[in-house]
Amino acid sequence: WMMPEVDGLELCRKVRAEERVDGRGYTYFIFLTALGDREHLLQGLAAGADDYLSKPLDRDELEMRLTSALRVTELHRRLALQNEELEKLNRMLFEQSREDPLTTLGNRLRLREDLEVLRGRAKRYNHSYAVVLCDVDHFKAYNDRYGHLAGDDALQRVAETISACLRGGDTAYRYGGEEFLVVLPEQDARAAAAIAERLRRAVQDLEIPHEANAPQDVVTVSAGVAALSTTGDPDELLKRADAALYAAKKAGRNRVSADGND
């Protein structure tokens, strides 16, 4: 209880406070003191002590109390391990809830979150940003001709190809069934259109057979591009990209169309 520089009460309080902050393993405190009255007992327990022994020391009693302390600390250790595993599982579930299971790209939930972050950053640093909305051409016909397993494989390969074409900082998402969205920070419409064209060529160069997609007879994508200034609304940006994608399809597919309102 009485020690040089810092007394037992203060030491106990300090250790308990540090345990709460850094999550260190549990420290079992037994106060051994000649101050055995009720007031000092309550002070020790209030400071965070687990047990209290009064002098003179009974060694048999101390041994039994230490045995009890070992049981308690082992329970704390197991509980800490279980909590750590639970936190890992929660983090994994959090990530999975924002990931498309087929392609492992981000899903629309993650897209919404990321767009809000990007919107704030663009406003803060006076940056524009752009999106590219891609759609696999005649994908329903592809599934009808080759089957859904082949369709899933084609989507995975398209997703991998799109991701491989991006710069660091650009992000691809699965936007819908056969639709993919690419977010391009700090890019205007012209730069985004060039990136979209690179994606389009890369997908065509995969040469995945697609007999219902004449005249190429391979899997291709159409793409719509739109960009926003610092104050633009992400929802409006997505609508404009969708309109540009529709224009690309109407013009014959396997091409890039840029929105004209940037």
* Residue 178: active-site member: yes
d(CA 112, CA 69): 50
CA angle 226, 228, 232 (to 5 degrees): 130
d(CA 187, CA 210): 33
- Is the four-CA dihedral 195, 196, 198, 199 of positive or negative sign? positive
Closest CA to 245 of 212, 209, 196: 196
d(CA 98, CA 115): 13
Q: Which long-range contacts (CB under 8 A, 24 or more apart) does 56-62 make?
A: 57/32
Please tell me what DSSP assigns to residue 131: E
Residues in CB range of 249: below 8 A, 6 or more apart: 135, 137, 222
- Is the four-CA dihedral 58, 62, 64, 65 of positive or negative sign? positive
Q: What is the DSSP string of 133-185?
A: EEEETTHHHHHHHH-HHHHHHHHHHHHHHHHHTPPTT-EEEE-SSSEEEEEEE
Exactly one of 39, 116, 178, 179 is catalytic; name it: 178
Residues in CB range of 219: below 8 A, 6 or more apart: 136, 137, 142, 154, 158, 203, 204, 206, 208, 209, 210, 213
Give the residue numbers marked as catalytic. 178
